Amino acid sequence: MSLIKKIAVFGLICIVGTNMIGCGKQAAETAATNSTAEQTKDQTKDETKSDDNAQKEDVAIAKIGDTEILRSELDVQLNYQKAYLLMSYGEDFLTTDNGKEYMKQLKEYLVGNIINMKIAELKAEELGQLPKEEDINKAFEQQKANYGSEEEFKKELEASQMTEEDLKKEIKTALTAQNMNTYLGKDAKVTDDEVKQYYKDHVADYSNQAGATISHILVKTEEEAKKVKTEYDGGTSFADLAGKYGTDGTKDNGGSLGFIPYNTQNYDQDFMAAAKKLGEGKVSEPVKTQFGWHLIKAEGIQKEDVVKPFEDVKEEASAACLKEKQNKLITDQLEKWKEELKVETYDDVIATIE
């Protein structure tokens, strides 16, 4: 397990600073979900390896007033995100179409993250909202305590291409975002009518959508898929076969992809079309997608959407409505600061970074 996955530094920033640093959650979820479902193209692993930072020219990728943001700052973020992706979704992920699209979008919102957090830190200093050194050190020690030993902690740092200094900087970034979000959103309030309207506008969020718990076994050829299906029909469990023959990350948990709504756009549509046809507990014949051949199993089928009553989710909707209003305040203020500080991005330079 990578350091970032375990302590969720980047995730923490996204959670506490969604609008302040523009995490780009939807794009990340879509690419990551696709990769988990169907990522196994045969391409050289060497293409996924990061270049040596020392050989890269440390050019400016953006500017805030007279302050330049250098490529090296983006490289730090990119490198440990790549390390996390490769460990989580396999060494071929970045060579897939999904992986390439993910990286393209990742660069864009990481640059946005860096810019937004630079502004946040500048304004946090003016407003007295920077985290104290003791709070940063306390958070660092808490994260470090998640590991059994100093050696294990350092091993995970190295695997994620981070230093202790990098980690402390990310913790400071997260705490700064948290402080600024709290400060800028402190005056937001919502009425009962606003909460009810929010519920109506986001009713899909308060519904159990039609779908099923889907498992799959992904192999490279139709012949392999037929062989696995024959073994399944002969009495071997689907989970055991996934562990034996599966070629993606789900093989370690019985091929499970979790509950998937039938209307999702995050999975290959040929894959979903086959999944929708399955009855409870049934396993498909081999299904071809752009990523290979699958056997698909559906369980816990829910045929229709079930909307939760407002009263049952009132508190949840109220919190979400308040968060939306706070985020609006934060976003509006951030845009004003960007205009005031004359932010520029050098898209032509960013586009050349791998």
CATH number for 210-304: choose from 3.10.180.10, 3.10.50.40, 3.40.50.300, 2.60.40.10: 3.10.50.40
pLDDT < 70: residue spans in the chain: 1-56, 88
Pick the CATH number of 3-190+322-351 from 1.10.10, 1.20.120, 1.10.4030, 1.25.40: 1.10.4030
Q: Where does the chain hold its CATH 3.10.50.40 domain(s)?
A: 210-304
Contact 215, 242 (CB under 8 A): yes
Backbone angles phi, psi at 336, to 5 degrees: -65, -45
Q: Give the tens place of pLDDT for each residue, 109-127.
A: 889 888 988 899 899 999 9
pLDDT, tens digit, 9 for 90 and up, residues 230-274: 999 999 999 999 999 999 889 999 999 999 999 998 899 999 999
Q: Give the type of residue at 9.
A: V
Pinpoint the residues of the chain covered by CATH 1.10.4030: 3-190+322-351
Q: Which two tokens stand for residue 187?
A: 């005056």
Report which of 177, 92, 191 is spatially closest to residue 131, judged by C-alpha positions: 177
Report pLDDT for 56. Answer: 61
Q: Which residue in 341, 351, 353 sits closest to 120, CA to CA?
A: 341
The pLDDT assigned to 3 comes to 32
